[in-house]
Amino acid sequence: MYRLKVHKKGIIVIPKEVRDKLNIKEGDEVNVIVDDEGIYIFPKESIEKYFGSDKDAIQALKILEEERRKEREKNNA
């Protein structure tokens, strides 16, 4: 377990050890899933790995990710 500090504007830093283990590099995107239990961060290319072969769940997550991306773009415009 890692304890992370939330900085100004909600920024958190993923520890180097974790970035190295998951091959997350500067500029990479990650998937963030939020539920009643907490926040989960996944390397973008490996979300299927964590959700197995449940194609419906994977498709739903991809749709949600796309909706969130569009929402961010709208808010940043």
CA distance 25 to 6: 20
pLDDT in tens, 50-60: 566 566 777 77
The position carrying tokens 């996944």 is 42
For 47-74, what is the mean pLDDT?
72
Q: What is the pTM of this model?
A: 0.53
Q: Does position 35 have pLDDT exceeding 80, yes or no?
A: yes
Q: Does position 66 have pLDDT exceeding 90, yes or no?
A: no
Residue 15 main-chain phi, psi, to 5 deg: -55, 145
pLDDT in tens, 5-29: 999 999 999 999 999 998 899 988 8
Q: Which residues contact 68 (CB under 8 A, 6 or more apart)?
A: none
CA distance 76 to 74: 6
CA angle, residues 75, 58, 68, in degrees to nearest 5: 5
